[in-house]
Amino acid sequence: MPAGKTVPPTSDLKAPRFLALAAATLTLLLGACAPLLVPPPPPVPPQLEGKLLQTLEENGQAFRSLQGLARVRIKTPERSLTTTQAIFAEKPDRFRAETLSPFGTPLLLMATDGSELTVLIPSDRKFYRGEASPANLQRLTRLPLQMEDLVGIILYQTPMIPFRRSALSPVAGGGYLLELSGDQEVRQQLFFDPQLRLVQVAYWAGEALQLRIRYDNFAGEVRPFPRETFLEIPDRQVEARIDFSEASTNVAIPGKRFVLIPPDGVSVSPIP
């Protein structure tokens, strides 16, 4: 080493670079530890509640009938069943369902004109007739509903409770929750997506969920219609899903479609 020259320590040469790296690392650590600030939900637009209530009323008037082909899944504590059905529905309480084999042959036909409920099992040559009561409907569909409610739900018209109070609030991910409160702790929650389409309804008695309905797979632009309907009745442990692969709304359905006639030689029995 030449005389008179000194070499600074290695640590002094690397100090500026070390400090820069340390500062960058500290910044990253502080950024990772900082809590994410979730922006507050946007305020509810004025008059939106009235608009949503009007939308519900318009939905109820928009669809009066339906015929289509659906995959129907029913789950109860006793069993689960999946069938393909041709479904005809007309307000207020006309309904027909034909359970089809994989080859399209009717295995079971059920129809009601609102007053009488009839059932035909062609392969067994059995015909049943009875009142179109909730009890008889439940025996056949496993759903504890009145026929008018079932037809309305399929046609995107959910039953509305009489309410004294209402509250509208935004929900995470977009959309709104409209909660209606009636007497004796009865509540109804209606969920709307960001396009203001009704996608879920829940009925409560106190803290007990009585019925939940979900809608999905909307078709149509002017007045979207849900091709998928899901029902859940927790206290009965019953679930039902109706998925339409084909659906035509507001079609003219002959009245005789909702009345079954026993074939010749087939005796008529009451609904068991």
CATH number at residue 209: 2.50.20.10
CA pair distance 164, 114, nearest whole angstrom:
31
Asked whether residue 21 is domain-assigned, the answer is: no
pLDDT given for residue 38 in this prediction: 61
pLDDT given for residue 222 in this prediction: 82
> Could you give phi then psi for residue 92, rounded to 5 degrees?
-90, -25
Asked whether residue 179 is domain-assigned, the answer is: yes
Asked whether residue 89 is domain-assigned, the answer is: yes
CA pair distance 245, 72, nearest whole angstrom:
11
Contact predicate 185/206, CB 8 Å? yes
Q: Which two tokens stand for residue 44?
A: 């509810």
Q: Bridge-partner residues for 272, per DSSP? A: none
Residue with token string 């009489």: 162
pLDDT given for residue 25 in this prediction: 54
Asked whether residue 208 is domain-assigned, the answer is: yes
Structural domain that includes position 222: 48-270
Residue with token string 């004025």: 46
Asked whether residue 20 is domain-assigned, the answer is: no
Residue 13 has pLDDT above 50, yes or no: no
Asked whether residue 7 is domain-assigned, the answer is: no
* Residue 56 pLDDT grade (very low, low, confident, very high; cuts 50, 70, 90): very high
Query: Averaged over 87-113, what is the pLDDT?
Result: 97
**pLDDT tens digits, residue range 238-264?**
999 999 999 999 999 999 999 999 999
Asked whether residue 194 is domain-assigned, the answer is: yes
> CA 128, 68, 243 angle in degrees (round to 5)?
95
Asked whether residue 29 is domain-assigned, the answer is: no
The helix (run of H) or strand (run of E) holding residue 92 is none
Query: Averaged over 94-121, what is the pLDDT?
Result: 97
Domains: count for the chain: 1
Residue 14 has pLDDT above 80, yes or no: no
**pLDDT tens digits, residue range 118-164?**
999 999 999 999 999 999 999 988 888 999 999 999 999 999 999 99
